[in-house]
Amino acid sequence: MNIYDALDHLPAKKKAYFTWKHDIRFKRDNGKKSKEQFLKEVQMKTLDSFIKWERTSQYKSLVMLLMESRIASDFEDVYKVVVDKAKEGDEKSVRLFLSLQKDVQSNAKLAAKTFTVIEDEQEEDDDLIID
């Protein structure tokens, strides 16, 4: 499960709060909403109930999923730096590159399995009516 799947299982206000607080949005044209704008959007006066929710295991689990997705982006940035230094001949970077290469290959195999499962599920639920 990824962060977006998990957020889809939340009530609308909690989903809105989590995406607002952690700046998870697709449209980057507009700036982040202020606290006042957010409260107006969800028709609430304070963040108290959300702050209370932050102490729950549900919220903490969402944060872990969010961190997992951000780690993937960070990994890509680190990988680019290591590749550049390895191409320059830095011995430590070459060893690190070879290690990262093994990690990437094993993770790619896991990812391929994930997409195979998703593809199989989509084939099973294609909304076709068979008479």
Tokens of 72: 């993937």
Residue 103 pLDDT = 84
115, part of any domain? yes
Determine how many CB atoms are found less than 10 A away from the CB of residue 118: 10
Range of the domain at 52: 3-124
Nearest to 53 by CA among 43, 39, 63, 45: 63
How would residue 82 be classed by pLDDT, with cut points 50, 70 and 90? very high
- Average pLDDT score over residue span 70-83: 89
Distance CA 86, CA 80 (A): 10
130, part of any domain? no
103, part of any domain? yes
99, part of any domain? yes
129, part of any domain? no
33, part of any domain? yes
Nearest to 86 by CA among 100, 72, 73: 100
- Average pLDDT score over residue span 11-28: 89
As for how many domains the chain has, the answer is 1
